[in-house]
Structure 1
Amino acid sequence: MQTWVTQLGREGSSPRSVAKIHGVLRQLLDWAVKDGRLARNPAVGVPLPRPALTAHRYLDHSEVAMLAKECGDYSRLVRFLAYTGLRWGEAAALRVGSVDLTRRRVAVVASVTEVNGHLVWGAPKTHARRTVPFRGSSPATSRRPSRTRTPTRSRSRRLGAECCGSGISGVASSTRPSRG
């Protein structure tokens, strides 16, 4: 089994591809063990090649400004997301009570995503609440919201069409709450 895994890498498969291929074979062999056709799974415990670590790429201030400008009415939202690091689902789940204008902090306590056309509320990706500072030029300080608003699909679609319709690289083509 180890020879086969090593050979996949030598033939040009990336470490991630090798792991996926090995995973499929391991699952098939697990079924064979459960069915009594094999005494043990020879794919279990086989060392796999490690994927190379890649550096993260972040937008600089001028790139954020260009992206925000392209997004028109949603430029403040783009800046807010860029400078706080919130995920789309976390920003969409914010409530008025989550924003502390005095301390310039946002409490991230929930996330929302769309599943089969329905909004599903849950914990943030890390399953941990956190507070995030924001700059004075963020949308939270530009005007105080008058009431709590819940994201809707129609607002999400409008945002996608108006913000991302210009085909800007790196921006989802739809701003329905993210699935990842």
Structure 2
Amino acid sequence: MQLSQQIIEIYLKLEGLLLDSIGKAIGSGSSVPKETLAKWQAGRYKELSRLQNYQLQLIMQAAKKINPKMRSMIRETAAVEARITTKEIKQVLPELEGIPFADSPNTRQALMTLDLEAMTRLEMMNATMLKQSSSIYLEIITQASAEFVNGTITLEEALVKTATKWSENGIPALIDRRGAKWSTEAYINMVVKNTQKKRC
């Protein structure tokens, strides 16, 4: 499997783990009558900091796998581009002896810049996923509680309905300037493709 696909797979697995942890922290809500809903909600709100700490650990574990893979992908892409460029130069100027790819100060600087850009995007994505996970947790509690109080369904049914909607949408990995929410899959695909397209 290519490094780019491995990076995407790790992020998709991370998203699933984050959603699972939200579901576990909320619980089933079974046997909660309307009279004790406020107590149940308070218990869920108290769990938020524990959930955030757990999710931060998940994200840090994923980053330990992703960051080296992203750096390797950048190096592989740069090496391929260097071979292509070297071949093109030799065709035009066969007598010219260039500095080897790895020894070029310009190449090293370009790789450092690409590394920095890629790591910054990944860190921004990680921070957004952590923040959005907390928002989703609170939204599920709020929406399900409102539906339970105003409707004819149990809290458990309201939680399932609300959580299903959120799991279908996934955890946004980026919210852009226009307010558009990028899914984890869409954003990490864009980051990987853009990183591969950049040239040293």
TM (norm. structure 1) is 0.24
Higher relative contact order (CA 8 A, sep 6+): 2
Please identify which structure carries the higher strand content. 1
Larger proportion of helix: 2
